Amino acid sequence: MSQLIPPHGGKGLTCCLLEGAALEAEKKKAQGLKKLSLSPREKGDLIMIGIGGFSPLTGFMTKADWKGVLDNFLLTDGTFWPVPVTLSASKDEAAAIAIGSEIALFDPERNEIMGTMTVTEKYEMSLADKKYECEKTFMGEGTKTAEDFWKIAENDHPGVQMVMGQKEINLAGPVKVLSEAEYPTKYAGIYMRPAESRRIFDEKGWKEIAALQLRNPMHRSHEYLCKIAVEVCDGVFIHSLVGNLKPGDIPADVRVKCIESLVKHYFVPENVVQGGYPLDMRYAGPREALLHATFRQNYGCSRMIIGRDHAGVGDFYGMFEAQTIFDKIPCPTEPGKALLCSPLKIDWTFYCYKCDGMASLRTCPHGKADRVLLSGTALRKGLSEGTPIADHFGREEVLDILREYYAGLTEKVEIKMHTAASGT
C-alpha cells in the first residue's frame, strides 16, 4: 500500500496518453483531421496533461475555468489551480472548426501530430483579456501598479510576451495525447511520468518527499537546500525543467550533467532521485511556485522547496513572494480539491566565510562582506563573460562542466542582473 500523497484533484492520475491499439487507431484517425499548430508552451502543457502531470486536467480550459483560475485560483468544479492552461487559434482557424468537431494538435518543429482534441468551446481573447491574464498571472510585488508593470513587462517579461503573442481565439475541450515528443529519448533516464516517480518512491519506502525545482545549474545554494530537505524528509526529488527557457539560460542536457556530478560527489545517492519534466518556464514567480507544487503532488512529492525569488525574472516579484502566496490561496474543503503539497520555506542562503560554511539569513549573524551571495543569474553572467567565479560559489566539478559549455558557444546572450541576484 502506497504511503505517498494522493494526486491532486481527488481522481487519481488522469492520464490522457494513449497506448497500444487505441494509440494506433487514434493516429490513423488524426491524419484526416484539421491540424492546429501548437506553440512550444502548449506542446509542453499537452504532454503534461497526457502523462498525468496536470491531474485532474484532461484538456484545455474553458472561459469559465480560465476566469476562475485568474480570479480565485479555482476551476469551476471548485478544484484549486493556479495558472491558465489554454490553447489558442487564429480567427480564421477557429472559424473553420465547428463546436463538437475533432482536430489534430500538430507540432510544426517536429512535423508530428501530438494529439487530438474535441472542441467544446471557442472564446475570444481580446487585447484586454490578454492584459488581464498577464496582470493576474505575472504582476507581483516588484511592480506596485498596472501602469508600472506595463512600462517594462512587454519588453522584459518572457511570460507576458508568450501570452501577448497568443492567437485571438482560445479553444477548449478534452484531449487524447499521442506522443511525448523527443523527451523520452533525448532525456532517457531523466524524463519521467508521475507514475514512474511514484513507483520509484514506493520502492524506496518513502512517504515524505521534497521536490527541488531547477532551471539553472546547481550551485552551492541549491545543494544546501537539497541537504536541508534530506534531513527532514525521506528523500529529495531533484526535478529539472527540460522544456524551453528564455535566451541565455543553460540548456537541460548541461544542467543534467551538473546534477549528476553533484549527486555523485556530494550526496548519499540513495536519498536523491533525479527527474525531468517537459514544460516551458512561464516565469510567473508566485503563481508558478504554486503550479510547481501542484504538479509535484502528482509526481508523489509532499513538499516543495521554495527559496528566494522562485521562478522569478527581473525585479517583477518580491524576494519571498513565492513563499507567502501559499498562505493566501483558497483551501477547498471537498476531498482532493485542495493543494496538499506544502512549501518547505527556506530563507536566502549563501556561503559565509566567518561561519565557514553554508548559512541563511536566519542562521548567520555576519554582514554582507562576509558572504558569497549565490544566484543562478550571477553564475550565468560570470560564466558568459568569462569573469572569475567567487570562491565557494559552486563545486569545481560543476564549474568545469559549465566552463566547457560556455567555451563552445559562438553567440552569447547578455545576462541582465536583477536586484536580488546582485544582493542589493
Q: Which residues, 6+ apart, have CB-to-CB distance to 128 below 8 Å?
A: none
Beta-ladder partners of 214:
240
- Strand residue runs (E) in 38-125: 59-60, 87-89, 102-107, 112-118, 121-124
The Cα 231–Cα 215 span in angstroms is 23
| Interior/surface letters 304-337, b for 16+ CB within 10 angstroms, e for the rest | bbbbbbbbbbbbbbbbbbbbebbeebeebeeebb
The stretches of 325-393 forming alpha helices (DSSP H) are 376-385
Four-residue CA torsion sign, 157, 216, 179, 273: negative
Query: Is-catalytic flag, 271?
Result: no
- Please tell me whether residue 111 adopts helix, strand or coil conformation: coil
170: annotated active-site residue: no
Q: Which of 183, 181, 251 is nearest to 214 (CA)?
A: 251
Cα→Cα distances 44→26, 106, 241, 347, Å? 20, 12, 11, 31
What are the residues whose beta carbons fall under 8 Å from the beta carbon of 338, sequence distance 6 or more? Answer: 80, 330, 331, 332
Q: Which of 119, 118, 120, 243 is nearest to 176 (CA)?
A: 118
Residue recorded with cell 527532514: 232
Q: How far apart are CA 379 and CA 401, in angstroms?
A: 13
How far does the chain reach from its first CA to its final CA, in angstroms?
A: 50
* From 170, 216, 244, 271, active-site residue: 216
Under DSSP, is residue 8 helix (H, G, I), strand (E, B) or coil? Answer: coil
DSSP reduced 3-state for 36: strand
Identify the CA nearest to 4 among candidates 299, 289, 274, 344.
299
Residue with cell 541563511: 360
On the CB side of 381, CA atoms within 13 Å amount to: 13
Look at the alpha carbons of 153, 159, 162, 168 in this order and tell me if their dihedral is positive or negative.
negative
Q: In this structure, what C-alpha cell is assigned to residue 64?
A: 469559465
Instruction: Provide the annotated active-site residues.
Output: 215-216
